[in-house]
């Protein structure tokens, strides 16, 4: 088994097909097939299920992928580890953020990180909090910010701030006032994430405690889809976000705080399976201070810093 076998296998799983992986890494498709055949022969077990729609890992292949991806990440981090021992911290640090934070924080944090650590390169990934936590669990992300309702023991964390929930409406049909009762929200058609999503669970619990049912118009996988439906006037949504300045604010009404309030906790997450390399450790500490200043200086609506 050689490095190229791990690299090609990981890229094929991530691409979902041999043809897409071939285009991504600029290797001929027959050569990729040959390399995976060699890998499966060496291990004596199938790693991929092939179909007309592409490929997906077998149960053994998924476990192999998780370990191989972790090995490749550590391998790719070696130059930064060695360079950092010479004085100035260097390396690539992967950082995940949910959309409700990334639209406002990515640019300013890049500037702050470059000013403090010019040889650290940040690699940003966005997604919902559950996805980001899963990527940290699998050691495919060094760090991630995520909104949580309960704390999972499979990752390490630093709780940073609580964030209240707001009703996000189209401009044309927004209720008046800075707050709205949860009883009035129950009358408004909503588009929300699916039932297993942490934000959805928090929302449903708040409604159940008030003896109310959601007026659910649709479900969505991403915040972008939720906001697209709100922009069109099809429905409203509930977000743990009191500031729409990062989302073409002219398309939405001013967020309205829901009372009684309910919140999620924003935490900084990292893997408990391996120690952070020096570059990631420096970024972690810088991000904590950066976020604290951001919350206090901008007076982010509905956010309460946890000391």
28 within domain boundaries: yes
249 pLDDT above the threshold of 80: no
**Distance from chain centroid for Cα 3:** 28
Q: Which domain holds residue 53?
A: 3-71
Residues 126 and 242 placed together within one structural domain of the fold: no
Residues 67 and 187 placed together within one structural domain of the fold: no
Q: What is the enclosing helix (H) or strand (E) of 204?
A: helix 198-209
212 pLDDT above the threshold of 60: yes
273 pLDDT above the threshold of 80: no
- Check residue 214 and give its pLDDT: 95
- Check residue 246 and give its pLDDT: 78
Cα separation, 222 vs 224, whole angstroms: 5
77 within domain boundaries: no
- Check residue 183 and give its pLDDT: 97
159 and 306 Cβ atoms separated by less than 8 Å: yes
- Buried b / exposed e across 92-114, counting CB within 10 Å, b at 16+? bbbbbbbbbbbbbbbeebeebbe
- Check residue 51 and give its pLDDT: 86
Instruction: Give the β-pairing of 256-259 and 166-168.
Output: antiparallel
Residues 126 and 205 placed together within one structural domain of the fold: no
- Check residue 99 and give its pLDDT: 86
Confidence of residue 268 (pLDDT cuts 50, 70, 90): very high
- Which residues, including other chains, have CB under 8 Å from residue 143's CB and lie 6 or more apart? 93, 94, 95, 96, 136, 268, 269, 270, 276, 280, 283, 284, 287
117 and 109 Cβ atoms separated by less than 8 Å: no
Residues 93 and 143 placed together within one structural domain of the fold: yes
Residues 47 and 101 placed together within one structural domain of the fold: no
Domain of 177, CATH number, reads 3.40.190.10
What's the predicted TM-score (pTM) here?
A: 0.73
204 within domain boundaries: yes
Segment 158-183 mean pLDDT: 92
298 within domain boundaries: yes
Residues 153 and 279 placed together within one structural domain of the fold: yes
293 pLDDT above the threshold of 80: yes
Burial class of residue 22 (count of CB atoms within 10 Å of its CB; 0-12, 13-18, 19+): buried
Taking only the tens place, the pLDDT of each residue in 40-82 is 888 998 999 988 888 888 999 888 888 888 788 777 666 655 5
Q: Which two tokens stand for residue 271?
A: 């893997």
- Check residue 165 and give its pLDDT: 96
- Check residue 80 and give its pLDDT: 59
Domain of 23, CATH number, reads 1.10.10.10
Taking only the tens place, the pLDDT of each residue in 225-234 is 999 999 999 9
84 and 54 Cβ atoms separated by less than 8 Å: no
- Which residues, including other chains, have CB under 8 Å from residue 289's CB and lie 6 or more apart? none
């Amino acid at each position: 088994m050689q490095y190229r076998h791990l690299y090609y296998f990981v890229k094929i799983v991530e691409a979902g097909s041999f043809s897409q992986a071939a285009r991504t890494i600029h290797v001929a498709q027959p050569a990729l097939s040959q390399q995976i055949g060699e890998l499966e022969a060496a291990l004596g077990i199938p790693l991929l299920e092939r179909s007309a729609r592409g490929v997906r890992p077998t149960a053994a292949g998924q476990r192999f992928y998780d370990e191989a991806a972790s090995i490749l990440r550590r391998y790719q981090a070696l130059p930064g580890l060695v360079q950092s021992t010479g004085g100035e911290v260097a390396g690539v640090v992967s950082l995940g953020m949910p959309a409700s934070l990334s639209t406002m924080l990515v640019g300013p944090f890049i500037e702050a990180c470059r000013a403090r650590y010019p040889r650290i390169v940040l690699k940003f990934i966005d997604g919902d909090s559950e996805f980001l936590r899963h990527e940290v669990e699998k050691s495919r992300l060094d760090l991630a910010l995520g909104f949580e309702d309960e704390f999972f023991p499979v990752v390490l964390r630093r709780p940073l701030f609580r964030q209240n929930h707001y009703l996000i409406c189209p401009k044309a049909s927004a209720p008046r006032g800075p707050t709205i009762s949860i009883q009035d929200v129950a009358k408004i058609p909503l588009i929300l994430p699916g039932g297993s999503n942490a934000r959805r669970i928090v929302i449903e619990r708040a409604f159940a405690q008030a003896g109310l049912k959601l007026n659910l118009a649709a479900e969505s996988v991403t915040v972008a889809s939720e906001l697209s439906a709100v922009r069109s006037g099809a429905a409203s949504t509930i977000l743990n976000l009191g500031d729409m300045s990062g989302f073409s604010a002219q398309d939405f009404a001013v967020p309205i705080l829901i009372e009684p309030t309910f919140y999620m906790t924003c935490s900084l997450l990292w893997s408990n399976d391996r120690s952070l390399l020096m570059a990631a450790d420096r970024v972690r500490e810088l991000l904590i201070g950066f976020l604290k200043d951001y919350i206090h200086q901008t007076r982010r609506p509905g956010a309460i810093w946890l000391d």
